[in-house]
Structure 1
Amino acid sequence: MKILVAGSCLSALIAKELGKRKHQLLDALHHVRLDAYMWYLSGEMPVGATEKQLLIIEEKAGEACVSPKKKELLAARLKNQTEKKLSNFTSLLKNADWLILDNHYDLSLPLHRIYADEKYCFLNVGEQAIAGESVGFFDLSHAAEIYAKLVYWIRLKNPQIKIIYINYPVSAWEKLRVDNYRLSRAQELKRIFEDAESQIPGLKVVPFIDVPDERLDLEKGVHYFDAEFYDLLADVVEFLANNDDFSFLCGHGNLGFHDLKKMISSSHGGENNHVNSTRVSELSHPYSNMPRRQYWKPSVAEPYPLVITDLYRKKFTISVQDAIATCGSCFAQHIGKRLRNGGYRYLDQEPAPKELGAEKAKALGYGLYSARYGNVYTSRQLVQLFQRAFDRLHFDEVWQNFQGRYIDPFRPNLCGEGEATAEVVLEAQRQHLKQVRRMFETLDVFVFTMGLTETWIHRDTSAVYPICPGVTAGCFDPNRYAFVNLDYATILDEMETFLAALKEVNSTAKVLLTVSPVPLTATAENRHVLLSTIASKSILRAVADRLYQSHKHVDYFPSYDIIMSPPYRGMFFKNNLRSIHEEGVDYVMSHFFDQHCLHEAEATSAIEQSTVPACTACGAAENAEEDGEAFCDEAFLELERQLDAS
């Protein structure tokens, strides 16, 4: 396995033992407090210095007449905290299998802010060798939050990395010291972990170990141990990295050296296998010893929300060659935008004419999806779009806007000022549907975001529309148009119809379903809009789950589940409680990219070699969305209400 270590020499010495077992040490970040590395990853505070600034600091140390030994120690610590060193170490996270951390400096040493020049401050771990400003010791009262953030930023670089956190061992010699600040802080941190260890998913913790004096290497110092002890810690690290269930290590208080050795031996099937016999006796029902993610308390209620992991596991791989098309409700626009920016091969069958400006292109529906069909909110709309594209369904209907010009009723808000004749609209429809057909025939992955159950249909032709006639165009006639609220059985049947039809024209196509977390703007049901929202989304989520369970080529990505679930407490919504913050979408998509992650070289290659039409309206999606809003037909319902009220 490829290993990185950070903290004190303890981690490095364990890695040295692991190296004897054919593991590969990629790099070591010595003399670094873990909160400082978290600040570096998150950008919360300046940590690294340039080589030039390092020279300035070393010159200051010389001017301060620091002893040669302290000067040498300071130089060693500074070199591990340069921008170059931190950057190189961080870049290796994506290649590492294991990351070993230890808390020696978190327990024992303060940070100092040292000014390399008038504008730049640099954090140094250790004694204040030169003039600087004390930042203080690691804040134990926020230890769980700090470590949770650290895990979050590390996992953004490498979602699969195993992170092993080592509590620096306590020796018998240390216990005899009445003024031992490190030991008192170790006891406090121990209590915090006993209460909050489960709040840090993804962090595998080695408990505090009592070390007998015979295991000390006093020639090096009281914080160094003999080879047998490092060998045992290497055993523990290997066990934690390779096993999800390590609960037998917990709940014992401080572990003695010999007790720990017996436990690890038993876990590997030793003669005194009390651990395995305990496990057998506990397997009395299906809920015994399930993976952590299958229990609510440790995986949902206790963790810091933004470090909840393992919410999505891909059913199939999306490769660099796969052409991806998006369709659905307005939330799907956010997904498409991030797929484009992530280097994926994103289909755009109807690129915007070059002469159109970004804002105009977006208003006409360019770049919103893989073709200019606008928002497709319901299963019935999707089936209708597919059937029209393959000449299985025909409508000659056109609407007139409030200025008397003709528009397309199936994308009424993408027609600009409208056309002078109905024939121009119908011809544009035919050209558009040719491109939709081409999209379905050539895509590799179809991403569909299910948005609504409520819709409006034509009583005679059964045509379905993205918005109620008369809101932005057309004229509402209750004898011609009817409200329909699709139920579970109907939606499931329509989605099965679509999947079967897609397979006929594209036998290898894969489908990724999502449910939009955006609530209804208004409901035509005679009940509170909140109740209609919950009913609608629940039905769609149930259909999506059924399709996921029934088809190998259908995956489900939990965008709705993440945004709406209790641990997130509505944090991703804007003040209107409908629109989703860009940061919320980024967080949702981080779970997607954790599973479908293109390496940088692959993403660049995909962009350079792609023969898929480029998305020429990407600028529109970026520039015209000043507040991150997606284009939604539904928004016109709220505008209509405001106009009526005025």
Structure 2
Amino acid sequence: MELRTTFNIDPSEQKISYNDPVMFIGSCFATYIGRKFESGHMPVMINPSGTVFNPASVLKTISRIISGESYELKDLNNFNGLWFSFDHYTDFSSETAEGTLSAINLKLNESRSFLSGTRFLFITFGTARVFRLKESGLIVSNCHKLPAINFTRELMSVNNIVISWNALLDNLKSLYPGLKVIFTISPVRHWKDGAHGNQVSKSVLFLAVEELLKHPSKPSYFPAYELIMDDLRDYRYYDEDMLHPSPKAIDYIWEEFSKCYFEKTTTELVQEIDRISKAMSHRIQNPYSGETRKFAENILAKIDLISKKAPEINLQNEKKYFLELIHRAS
């Protein structure tokens, strides 16, 4: 008896290799998958302005990267002794305006340069609800713990999302004709909206993406949400907060993602590098033993083999670590 409703994901015609820079922008789910790329030493940039959840904030992030317009003092605010930008996550906040601006503009320049060579841009929408600053009417990416009285909260309409994003897709197609845009809907539930409110929000996102997939640039869709809600469909695959997917669920989505976007050789290479990364975290009981030396030599041989097959992959830190193990064990 089959106790799950599974479905097939059509393999992407365009495959991601180690020569293809990839950018992830959106909710924390974008970070989950982006980190898998990082652990595999693949060229990736994740959320250059920090985690962003709604379509308006994601759009603003990309638009600012495209324009390259630097942030200035007038773009910052101060609260509880910290300077911050409403467009950025708290990681960019600092006790000085200079420090905040430096961090923001450095990342902005890096992301603009990275986007110019990016082959795949993954967009993850988390919610259709936005916070709008009463004073200016600005939609914020992060409230930075300001009192709720400073904001109004509203649900974006499908039409507004589609109009603004179609314009952005036009711009992306013109500037980066080789760029492939892939939309996803985050399976993370926004429970502060309530059960019904969360479903309403996700429904708006689904309807908007369905329209955006008709754009002439031919964006595509990866069913991350459906893998959690319709395939796994069990609280065993949620983290302790019962809202975010568990590591096991993320691993499962990563497997399906890999089948969709990687050639077999790329998947094998990612897995080999992952095993090397895990070997680095292996607890060495006796760093001076012959067994430790043999263990390190075995991993070094694998590193050398990967370096010959894929010289573009930088494994110098890993190589240095295992050479030091051998030196201590000698």
Which TM-score band applies after superposition, normalised by the shorter structure?
0.7 to 0.9
Counterpart pick for 2:51 among 365, 375, 390: 375
Counterparts of 2:127 and 2:104 in 1: how far apart (Å)? 24
Deviation at 1:320, TM superposition (A): 3.4
Instruction: Work out the CA distance in 2 between the residues paired with 1:585 and 1:512.
Output: 18
Are positions 1:398 and 2:67 aligned together? no
Deviations 1:615-637 (A, max 9, x none): 9xxxxxxxxxxxxxxxxxxxxxx
Structural mapping, 1:430-469, within 5 Å: 430-459=105-134, 461-468=136-143
Separation (CA, whole Å) in 2 of partners of 1:435 and 1:588: 29
CA distance in 2, matches of 1:596, 1:393: 34
Give 2:197's aligned residue.
Answer: 532
Letter in 1 for 2:251: D
Pair 551,425 (structure 1): closer, same or farther in 2 beyond 3 Å: same
Write the distance in 2 (CA, Å) between the matches of 1:596 and 1:337. Answer: 16
- Cα deviation for residue 573 of structure 1 reads 1.5
Kept after mapping to 2: 8 A contact 1:559/1:588: yes
Equivalent residue in structure 2 for 1:413, among 71, 90, 93: 90
* Counterparts of residues 127-166 of structure 1 (less than 5 Å): none
Which shows bigger deviation, 551-560 or 313-322? 313-322
Q: 1:589 to 1:530 in 2, by over 3 A?
A: same
Q: Which residue of 2 aligns with 1:498?
A: 168
Q: Which residue number corresponds to residue 277 of structure 2?
A: none
Determine the C-alpha separation between the residues in 2 that align with 1:460 and 1:405: 19
Letter in 2 for 1:438: S
Shift of 1:342: 4.3
1:519 aligns with 2:216: no
The alpha-carbon distance between structure 1 residues 340 and 405, as it changes in their structure 2 partners (threshold 3 A), is: closer
Note the C-alpha offset of 1:505. 2.4
Match of 1:522, SS state, is: helix
Question: Which secondary structure does the structure 2 equivalent of 1:327 belong to?
Answer: strand
Is the Cα–Cα contact under 8 Å of residues 63 and 168 in structure 2 kept in the other structure?
no
Q: Distance in 1 between matches of 2:135 and 2:71?
A: 13
| Stretch moving more, 390-399 or 548-557 | 390-399
Deviation at 1:409, TM superposition (A): 2.8
Letter in 1 for 2:233: Y
Counterpart of 1:337?
35
Task: Please list the CA deviations of residues 243-284 of structure 1 after superposition, one character each: whole Å capped at 9, or x if unmatched.
Answer: xxxxxxxxxxxxxxxxxxxxxxxxxxxxxxxxxxxxxxxxxx
Correspondence for 1:347 among 44, 48, 64: 44
Residues of 1 paired with 2:68 and 2:137: CA distance? 16
Letter in 2 for 1:531: H
Unpaired segments ≥5 residues, structure 1: 1-198, 200-302, 349-368, 524-528, 616-646
Query: 1:391-433 CA deviation, whole Å, 9 max, x = no partner?
Result: 469672323242x2322332242136x223x344234332222
1:609 deviates by 0.7
Amino acid paired to 2:204:
I
Counterpart of 1:518 in 2: which secondary structure? coil
Query: In 2, are the aligned partners of 1:384 and 1:393 still within 8 Å (CA)?
Result: no
**Judging changes above 3 Å, is the alpha-carbon distance between structure 1 residues 460 and 610 closer, same or farther for their aligned structure 2 residues?**
farther
- For 1:641, the equivalent position in structure 2 comes to none
Q: How far is 1:575 from its partner?
A: 4.0
Q: Tell me which amino acid in the other structure corresponds to 2:56.
A: R
2:64 corresponding residue in structure 1: 388
Counterparts of residues 75-474 of structure 1 (less than 5 Å)? 303-305=2-4, 308-342=6-40, 345-348=42-45, 369=46, 371=48, 373-389=49-65, 390-391=67-68, 396-402=74-80, 404-415=81-92, 418-420=94-96, 422-459=97-134, 461-468=136-143, 471=145, 474=146
What is the CA deviation profile of residues 209-232 of structure 1, one whole-angstrom value per residue up to 9, with x for unaligned ones?
xxxxxxxxxxxxxxxxxxxxxxxx
**Matched position secondary structure for 1:326:** strand
Corresponding residue number in structure 1 for 2:213: 548
Change (3 A) 1:491 1:304: same
Distance in 1 of aligned mates of 2:69 and 2:137: 14
Give the Cα separation in 1 of the matches to 2:174 and 2:217: 16
The C-alpha deviation readout for 1:340-360, integer Å capped at 9, x for no partner, is: 3345x3224xxxxxxxxxxxx
Question: Which letter maps to 2:27?
Answer: S
Given the superposition, is the C-alpha separation of residues 468 and 593 from structure 1 closer, same or farther in structure 2, using an over 3 Å criterion? same
| Letter paired with 1:608 | P
CA distance in 2, matches of 1:450, 1:379: 6
Q: CA deviation at 1:577?
A: 1.8
**Cα distance in 1 for residues equivalent to 2:232 and 2:52:** 30
Q: Is the 8 A contact 2:188 2:245 kept in 1?
A: yes
> Structure 1 residue 475: deviation in Å?
5.3
Tell me: CA distance 1:552–1:429, structure 2 relative to 1, closer, same or farther (3 Å).
Answer: closer
Counterpart of 2:156 in structure 1 is 486
* Per-residue Cα deviation, 1:56-94 (whole angstroms, up to 9, x for no partner): xxxxxxxxxxxxxxxxxxxxxxxxxxxxxxxxxxxxxxx
Equivalent position of 1:246 in the other structure: none
In our comparison, the structure showing a higher alpha carbon Rg is 1
- Deviation at residue 450 of structure 1 after TM alignment: 0.9
Residue 317 of structure 1 aligns to a residue whose secondary structure is coil
Q: How far apart, CA to CA, are the structure 1 residues paired with 2:70 and 2:211?
A: 27
> Deviation string for 1:421-474 (max 9, x for gaps)?
x344234332222222222212110111111111112356543322335x2xx4
Give the AA of the match of 2:152.
Answer: A
Asked if structure 1 preserves the Cα contact closer than 8 Å seen for 2:173 and 2:217, the reply is no
- TM-aligned CA distance change 1:384 to 1:556, over 3 Å: same
**CA RMSD of the aligned region, Å?**
3.1
What percentage of aligned pairs have identical amino acids?
18
Residue-by-residue CA offset, 1:120-166 (whole Å, 9 max, x unaligned): xxxxxxxxxxxxxxxxxxxxxxxxxxxxxxxxxxxxxxxxxxxxxxx
Q: Which amino acid aligns with 1:375?
A: T
Say whether the 8 Å CA contact 1:386–1:437 is kept in structure 2. Answer: no
**Residue 305 of structure 1 aligns to a residue in which SS?**
coil
Letter aligned with residue 50 of structure 2: G
Name the CA distance, whole Å, in 1 between partners of 2:253 and 2:89. Answer: 30
CA distance 1:519–1:438, change in 2 (3 Å)? same
Pick closer, same or farther for the CA change 1:333–1:507 going to 2, 3 Å.
same
In structure 1, C-alpha distance between the alignment counterparts of 2:82 and 2:217, rounded to whole Å: 47
**C-alpha separation in 1, matches of 2:231 and 2:254:** 19
Instruction: Please give the alpha-carbon distance, in whole angstroms, between the structure 2 residues aligned to 1:505 and 1:408.
Output: 27
Q: 1:630 is matched with which residue? A: none
Return the alpha-carbon distance in structure 2 between the equivalents of residues 521 and 540 of structure 1: 16
Q: What is the alpha-carbon distance in structure 2 between the residues aligned to residue 460 and residue 338 of structure 1?
A: 40
From the two aligned structures, give the one with the greater helix fraction: 2
Residues 554 and 463 of structure 1: CA distance in aligned 2, closer, same or farther (over 3 Å): same
Number of equivalences: 277
Query: d(CA) in 2 for partners of 1:322 and 1:406?
Result: 36
Please list every run of 5 or more consecutive structure 2 residues that lacks an aligned counterpart in the other structure: 271-305, 318-330
Does the Cα contact within 8 Å between 2:15 and 2:261 map onto a contact in 1? yes
Could you say which residue in structure 1 is the equivalent of 2:223? 558
